[in-house]
A = this chain, B = another copy of it.
Amino acid sequence: MGKKGILTVISGFSGAGKGTIMKELVKKYPYFLSVSATTRPPREGETDGEDYFFHTREEFERMIAAGELIEYAEYVGNYYGTPKAAVEKQLRDGKDVLLEIEMQGGMLVKEQFPDALLLFVAPPSAEILKARLNGRGTESVEEIEKRLQRASEEVTYMKSYDYIIVNNELEKAVEQVHSIIVNEHCRTGYCTELITMMESELTQFAKGD
């Protein structure tokens, strides 16, 4: 049996740069990026099946009812969710899977996948977060206010994550996330085969073989 893949959840405030980090990670390393399902309309340049699976509310609610999502949540009036089957297959095949989801979803993933690695991408300060949201230019003033309000509620989830990645410099943040996942493969829980082999070999030596 091969080694199991690692499921990494990446969350962070809207505007913290987690999407960009994810894109760089899959460009440089062989991660499987789980594509979310959503009912929010595509933004300019977004492709169905690549950025998101875009669905109507009716379709999305059918998927919920059929148990086809690991987690889902409603956020700023739209559904977001994680299709289950593809993630489970990749993990079984030994591939490391990345999930970009908001915090409520992250907590639900942790319940179902207790070995999941939970990473929280944070800006160096709240002031910088605000400036980044303004600079993006894709949202209205009210939308930005809404997102900051949301961030002030989401901040309580930070403590439930395993690691905080301060996104000060993109390249550094990308390498830090990668290095955390690489190291996770040395976690004792992922080395059970090695431990079992050592136990049996050393027991034989102790018997004088």
Chain A interface (Cβ < 8 Å from any Cβ of B): 120, 122, 125-127, 130, 148-149, 151-153, 155-156, 158-166, 176, 179-180, 182-183, 186-188, 191, 194-195, 197-199, 201-206
Contacts and interface: CB of A to CB of B under 8 A. Distances in A.
Contacts of A180: 183, 186
B186 A163 contact: yes
A126 B151 CA distance: 51
Complex A-B, nearest 9 residue pairs according to Cβ-Cβ distance, in ascending order? A126-B201, A152-B206, A152-B202, A164-B191, A163-B186, A148-B205, A126-B202, A158-B195, A155-B199
Copies of this chain, whole number? 2
A162 B188 contact: yes
Contacts of A163: 183, 186-188
Contacts of A130: 205
B126 A198 contact: yes
A194 B152 contact: no
9 contacts: A125-B201, A126-B197, A148-B205, A163-B186, A164-B186, A164-B188, A164-B194, A165-B186, A183-B183
A92 to B, nearest CB: 22
A191 to B, nearest CB: 4
A165 B182 CA distance: 12
A159 B201 contact: no
Contact of A155 (B151, B153, B161, B198): B198
Contacts of A195: 155, 158-159, 164
Contacts of A162: 187-188
A149 B195 CA distance: 16
